[in-house]
Amino acid sequence: MRRPAAALRKESDSESELEIDTRVWRLRRGADLVQAWKRPPSKIELQELAAAARKLSKGACSYWIPAFAQPTTPVQRFALDVFHFHCRRLGWTPKRLKALGKNAGAEVWAQRRSGKERQERRGMNWHFDKDEDLLDDCELVVHPLIGTATYLSDAGAPLMVFSQPTLQMSEDGPLYHEPRLRRRQSDAFVAFPQKALHVAFSGQLLHGVPGVLEHSRGERLALLVNVWLHHRPIGLERCGAEPTERGGRLPNNSPGRSLCFRPKRGSETVSLPMTSLFSHLRCVQVNRSKHGHNGCQS
Ligand SMILES: O=C(O)CCC(=O)C(=O)O
Ligand SMILES: [Fe+2]
């Protein structure tokens, strides 16, 4: 997601947030690449959330809510519910999260497609979620720990997530221009939007929304929450109030050290099982594009 941010970046510069905690590049993401739940891990009313997501989508930018901030809106509360659910699931205790200080939190934004736009505009290019401003400013890639999408409407193109290619890892993190295929075949996960469906995927995975696979045209509304640990994306506007006493004092964190895919010509067409909302397709042929990585953005 694009950030708003020249003015905001100044603010984060003065907090010297450009120091990278390199442990972010060694985070363990769990064995499940992609998972789906029929309902999101939050009690916030979906209708209320949908209204807020429509508003949020107009701004076309994302926000940062620290792990132990006090939420002041339903979207903020939802983002923290999602954040803590996935952290718990991956074995992160509140104590360990608190030890990360300001480098633990959720990024939240909304995506809306009206259904009236042309088909190409009703989808989204293949991309990796990452700290966009860090890539622009420093050519460094940091992915979130986990990416999530919660659907608030019943129409639109599916989310597709691939097990590979992933970006080649180096000492200075993943290399943006070097997507790597370890095997000839990839797994693909397909999730068709339906109200309340919640999908989570490992933050380093290639994904997109292919407009051509849409099965019902209409409003497509998604609320996205990415879980970040050991890193706070630069340039994001912060939201939420200061933590209460109960949240405890946040220690200062000390940093560790200051595509494009194309099915093979002539390969078999995959027909998607439309009877299920979420499917896992094994052994999908993925080829390295002659043109390399397309550098799409969310
Ligand atoms: O809307 C979706 O299903 C995915 C959106 C996404 O990947 C993004 O905004 O980065
Ligand atoms: Fe994305």
Q: Whose CA is nearest to atom 3 of ligand 1?
A: 159
161-197 pLDDT per residue, tens: 999 999 999 999 999 999 999 888 889 999 999 999 9
Cα separation, 150 vs 36, in Å, equals 10
Residue pair 67/232 in contact by the 8 Å Cβ criterion: no
CB neighbour list of residue 161: distance below 8 Å, 6 or more residues apart: 33, 34, 188, 189, 191, 199, 201, 205, 206, 207
**Structure tokens that stand for 52 in this block:** 């807020």
CA of 192, nearest ligand number: 1
- 248 band by pLDDT with thresholds 50, 70 and 90: very low
3-state DSSP call for residue 83? helix
Domain ranges of the chain: 6-156+192-243
Q: How many helices (H) and strands (E) does the chain have?
A: 5, 16
Q: Is the dihedral of CA 278, 206, 201, 169 positive or negative?
A: positive
pLDDT of residue 287: 55
The alpha carbon of 125 and the centre of ligand 1 are apart by a number of angstroms equal to 9
Q: Find the 251 Cα to ligand 2 centroid distance in Å.
A: 31
DSSP character for 15? Answer: T
- Tokens at residue 290, please? 């002659």
Pocket of ligand 1 (CB under 6 A): 1, 111, 124, 129, 149, 159, 207, 209, 222, 224, 298
In the prediction, which pLDDT does 271 show? 52
CATH for 6-156+192-243 is: 2.60.120
User: What does pLDDT average to over the chain?
Assistant: 83
**Ligand 1: which of 3, 54, 127, 207 to mutate, judged by most atoms within 8 Å of the beta carbon?**
207
Q: Count of alpha carbons within 13 Å of 71, Cβ hemisphere only? A: 17
Reduced to 3 states (helix: H, G, I; strand: E, B; else coil), residue 237 is: strand
Q: In angstroms, what is the span from residue 198 Cα to ligand 1's centroid?
A: 12
Neighbours of 246 (CB within 10 A): 7
- Closest Cα to atom 8, ligand 1: which residue? 298
Higher pLDDT, 288 or 105: 105
Q: What pLDDT shows up at residue 285?
A: 66
For a mutational test of ligand 1's pocket, the pick from 224, 227, 228, 277, i.e. the residue with the most ligand atoms closer than 8 A to its C-beta, is: 224
Give the pLDDT confidence score for residue 8 in this predicted structure. 35
Extract the tokens encoding 196. Answer: 């309340």
Local structure of 81: helix, strand or coil: helix
Q: How far is the CA of 246 from the centre of ligand 2 (A)?
A: 33
Q: Which of 209, 214, 219, 223 to mutate to test the pocket of ligand 1 (most atoms within 8 A of CB)?
A: 209
Task: For residue range 192-208, list pLDDT tens digits in order.
Answer: 999 999 999 999 999 99
Of all atoms in ligand 1, which is nearest to the CA of residue 111? Answer: 1
